Amino acid sequence: MAYSIVVVGTSWGGLNALRELAGALPADFRIPTVLVQHRHRQSDHLLSTFLQERTTLEVAEVEDKMPIEPGTLYVAPADYHLLVDRGFFTLSTDPPVRYSRPSIDVTFQSAADAYAAGTIGVILTGANSDGSRGLRRIFDRGGLALVQDPATAESPTMPTAAIRCVPSAQVATIATISAKLVELSADGGSAARHGRGDHPLNSPAHVAGPGNA
């Protein structure tokens, strides 16, 4: 079964991280990808504009009930929780979670509930632990958990927390994570979801465990 959605969470340092990730995805990348970046509640659309300048994929700031289409990067709007349903998004003004709205956990958990094993969760640089529980939900539902190597993150707190919560997450640089996403998009997601194949992400040096979190 092909992967249906990618959800990406980041906070401190996320602008550069998302620029690198988005810039590495080719024009034929088909898996819908949701980008959740912590930002001020009065932030404007500059994040979407910034990313659109660096990718040939369409970048769209999510509106309530917007349909989920392939080949699109979706940006969570400021001051709303973004929930993933099957085929569309829902926005919520429920209270902040872990002081954040949008909350990475909320988006990840809803994606796991909607698409289960068809979900890829990615945690990048950030200064708090938001996203770790959501990544655990994705992994527990059979999805793929990818985490930026904390040693390469502008702020290692968020990826370190994610690794502690999901010790079996695959850990690598953003460049390697991007390559993995491209590979999965090209092959329909048929690569082993938790196996340790020949891909660099799956080598012993890149697979996190409790001892290197």
Q: Where are the chain's structural domains?
A: 5-212
- Round to whole Å and give the CA distance between 127 and 153: 10
8 Å CB contact between 3 and 31: yes
Q: Which of 146, 191, 193 is nearest to 173 (CA)?
A: 146
The span from the CA of 51 to the CA of 180, in Å, is 20
Q: Is 11 tagged catalytic?
A: yes
Q: Indicate if 81 belongs to the active site.
A: no
Phi/psi of residue 142, nearest 5 degrees: 95, 5
pLDDT at 71 over 90: yes
The arithmetic mean of pLDDT across residues 64-74, rounded, is 97
Q: Which of 38, 103, 132, 149 is catalytic?
A: 38
Q: How confident is the model at residue 2 (pLDDT cuts 50, 70, 90)?
A: confident
What average pLDDT does the chain have?
A: 87
User: In this predicted model, what pLDDT tens digit does every residue of 103-115 receive, in sequence order?
Assistant: 999 999 999 999 9
Which fold would CATH assign to domain 5-212?
A: Rossmann fold (3.40.50)
User: What is the 3-state secondary structure of 80-127?
Assistant: CEEEEECCEEEEECCCCECCECCCHHHHHHHHHHHHHHHEEEEECCCC
Phi and psi at residue 146, to the nearest 5°: -120, 140
Looking at 11, 103, 110, 132, which residue is catalytic? 11
Active site residue 64: no
pLDDT at site 212 = 34
Measured in whole angstroms, the distance separating CA 85 from the mean position of its chain's CA atoms is 16
pLDDT at 43: 63
Q: Which residue has the higher pLDDT, 200 or 39?
A: 39
Work out whether the CA dihedral 16, 18, 19, 20 comes out positive or negative.
Answer: positive
Name the active-site residue from 4, 48, 130, 185: 130
40 band by pLDDT with thresholds 50, 70 and 90: low
pTM: 0.86
| pLDDT at residue 4, as a whole number | 97
- Token pair listed for 179: 């390559």
Confidence bin at 153 (pLDDT 50/70/90) = very high
Indicate if the pLDDT at residue 134 is higher than 90: yes
Least confident of 59-68, 146-155, 185-194: 185-194
Provide the b/e sequence for 130-163 (b: ≥16 CB within 10 Å).
bbbbbbbbbbebebbbbbbbbebbbbbbbbbbbb
Q: What is the tens place of the pLDDT at every residue in 179-205?
A: 999 999 987 644 333 333 333 454 333
